Amino acid sequence: MTIGLEEVFETSGMILFNHFDIRAVTLGVNLKDLAHPDHLRLAEACRQRLSDWGGRLVREAGEVSQALGIPIVNKRISITPAAWLIEPCPEPRAAVVLAQALDAAAASAGIDFIGGFGALVQKSATAADRRLMESLPQALATTSRLCGFLNLASTSAGINMDAIARLGHILKDMAGASENALACAKFVAFANAPEDNPFMAGAFHGAGEGDCALNVGISGPGVVRAVVERHPDCDLTMLSEIIRRTVFKITRAGEMVGRELAKRLGVEFGVVDISLAPTTAVGDSVGRILVAMGLEQVGAPGTTAALALLIDAVKRGGAMASGHVGGLSGTFIPVSEDLAMIEAVESGALNLEKLEAMTAVCSVGLDMFAVPGDTPAHALAGLIADELAIGVANHKTTGVRVIPAPGKQAGDSVDFGGLLGRAPVMRLNTFSGEKFITRGGRLPAPVLALKN
């Protein structure tokens, strides 16, 4: 891949003025060969391997960033789903011991987050899967860099309602076990989880991956916002073309960084995830892009159509730029991490029902939003089931990161600080779906799943 001088200057401008960066480089590491009946031996072996790889990743990422002049914000590791690793361990505390060893490895290496503490339970759950699920409150509350996930549904398997119903209670325990329910912010419930996702909290190193793979998550909402604002009067067809060309450029820069870093580490280059990921920095907002398109506020009529245009243009630009596009690839619409989304909720322009409608076209789902702390477990389970049903029916990835904020009511706010931002507590429909949720069983896969 050859980068021309003009592209170098354009990329420099994006970095200096529009918050362009490589949001995350995530090294996926296979740990299946370390599974062992002795949980202490397993934990120590995982800690040693990940400390070594993590140290190398941090060092090499710093050198690549300096050499190419492109900021790399987060250095992360994803691992083999932890439920697979504890399968041979009879010790009930094996999952928690492993969680603390993973967190210690990340801390010693200077890794920002480590993902993969989770299980794939879209159809049913093994004894090890259930042990891991029950360990989530303690594991995520007693660690600072560890992230967890559960894949609870897929288009080919349907929706595991037994696991979702149980997860509602686990989320309540997670919220109560950590300050400001921070453990919930480090956990995501998925449908159709991708195995090469570089973004937390849902990253894991899937079964179809090799021993190691370097995945890159680019960002760039500030770059896209700036180019949309420079074209206030063009029609939507031309606007799509303008966004596509912009994403083409930032994708090429992301792949250049990823390939160079993978080469230095001596591992496979995996994917470049072209998702637009906002931060709390002023201007680095997906919501601001939608406003620049002509909406008064996120949530106004036309919001879902505007988001659909944006995501399609992002995917077109990325696919033209690279043959290694993967992960989630689309647009994140978290509430707490995007100032325009926060403003929309606080002004009344955006409610939970409209946010859910937007997820029908986005690539991530209901992300980083808070609900009242007294929300019943069955209501949390219902929220998750609704969102995962969108993913299953549309053959796409959807996820949920919901924070039941202890002691908070609708209209209050909970501050997580740093990257996770501040979440206004959203009002939740108070009519009950408990009887439906507690029926249990599995929602059958849609007929589409029978197309082989």
Cβ-contact 246, 238 below 8 angstroms: no
Domain boundaries, the chain: 28-191, 217-450
Share of the chain above pLDDT 90, in %: 66
Share of the chain above pLDDT 70, in %: 94
Q: Which pair of tokens denotes residue 159?
A: 């929706």
In the prediction, which pLDDT does 432 show? 94
Spatial distance between the Cα atoms of 42 and 437, rounded to a whole number of angstroms: 37
**216-267 per-position pLDDT tens digit:** 988 778 888 888 999 999 999 999 999 999 888 888 888 888 999 999 999 9
Q: Which residues of 368-381 are buried (b: 16+ CB within 10 A; e: fewer)?
A: bbbbbbebbbbbbb
Task: For residue 405, give the 3-state DSSP assignment.
Answer: strand
Ranges 46-55, 219-228, 413-422: which has the least confidence:
413-422
> Which residues are within 8 A (CB) of 417 and not within 5 positions of it... i.e. 6 or more apart?
none
Q: How far is CA 47 from the centre of its chain?
A: 24
Q: Is the dihedral of CA 34, 145, 101, 399 positive or negative?
A: negative
In the prediction, which pLDDT does 32 show? 95
Pairing, β 146-154 against β 158-160: antiparallel
Q: What is the pTM of this model?
A: 0.91
Looking at per-residue confidence, does 86 or 11 come out higher?
86
Q: Which pair of tokens denotes residue 211?
A: 């021993």
| Residue 388 scores a pLDDT above 90 | yes
Structure confidence at residue 9 as a pLDDT band (50, 70, 90): very low
Cβ-contact 324, 254 below 8 angstroms: no
86: which DSSP letter? Answer: T
Looking at per-residue confidence, does 3 or 437 come out higher?
437
Q: What is the mean pLDDT of the chain?
A: 89
> Which residues are within 8 A (CB) of 242 and not within 5 positions of it... i.e. 6 or more apart?
227, 228, 231, 234
425: which DSSP letter? Answer: B
The continuous run of DSSP H or E covering 397 comes out as: none
Looking up tokens 């053959």, which residue turns up? Answer: 395
In the prediction, which pLDDT does 67 show? 87
| Secondary structure (H, E, C), 306-339 | HHHHHHHHHHHHHHHHCCCECCCCCECCCCCCCH
**141-173 per-position pLDDT tens digit:** 999 999 999 999 999 999 999 999 999 999 999
In the prediction, which pLDDT does 390 show? 94
Q: Which pair of tokens denotes residue 207?
A: 């079964």
In the prediction, which pLDDT does 282 show? 59
> Which residues are within 8 A (CB) of 263 and not within 5 positions of it... i.e. 6 or more apart?
269
Helices (H), 110-216: 127-141, 161-177, 182-185
28-191 has which fold? Anaerobic Ribonucleotide-triphosphate Reductase Large Chain (3.20.70)
Q: Is the dihedral of CA 326, 332, 334, 339 positive or negative?
A: positive
Spatial distance between the Cα atoms of 331 and 418, rounded to a whole number of angstroms: 20
In the prediction, which pLDDT does 452 show? 55
Q: Which phi and psi angles does 11 have, rounded to 5°?
A: -65, -40
Please check whether the two domains, 28-191 and 217-450, share a CATH topology. yes
Cβ-contact 286, 359 below 8 angstroms: no
Spatial distance between the Cα atoms of 249 and 9, rounded to a whole number of angstroms: 11
**170-210 per-position pLDDT tens digit:** 999 999 998 888 899 999 999 999 998 888 889 999 988 99
Cβ-contact 404, 352 below 8 angstroms: no
Cβ-contact 217, 78 below 8 angstroms: no
In the prediction, which pLDDT does 333 show? 86
Cβ-contact 112, 74 below 8 angstroms: yes
In the prediction, which pLDDT does 445 show? 87
- Nearest of 205, 239, 221 to residue 333 by alpha carbon: 221
**102-130 per-position pLDDT tens digit:** 999 999 999 999 999 999 999 999 999 99
Ranges 206-220, 273-287, 328-342, 343-357: which has the least confidence:
273-287
Q: Which pair of tokens denotes residue 306?
A: 């505007």
217-450 has which fold? Anaerobic Ribonucleotide-triphosphate Reductase Large Chain (3.20.70)
Structure confidence at residue 451 as a pLDDT band (50, 70, 90): low
Q: What residues form DSSP beta bridges with 365?
A: 399
Structure confidence at residue 19 as a pLDDT band (50, 70, 90): low
110: which DSSP letter? Answer: T
> Which residues are within 8 A (CB) of 370 and not within 5 positions of it... i.e. 6 or more apart?
181, 335, 336, 402, 403, 404, 405, 408, 413, 414, 423, 424, 425, 426
| Residue 85 scores a pLDDT above 60 | yes
Single-letter amino acid, residue 391: G
Helices (H), 35-158: 39-68, 82-85, 94-109, 127-141
In the prediction, which pLDDT does 18 show? 47
Q: Is the dihedral of CA 93, 98, 101, 106 positive or negative?
A: negative
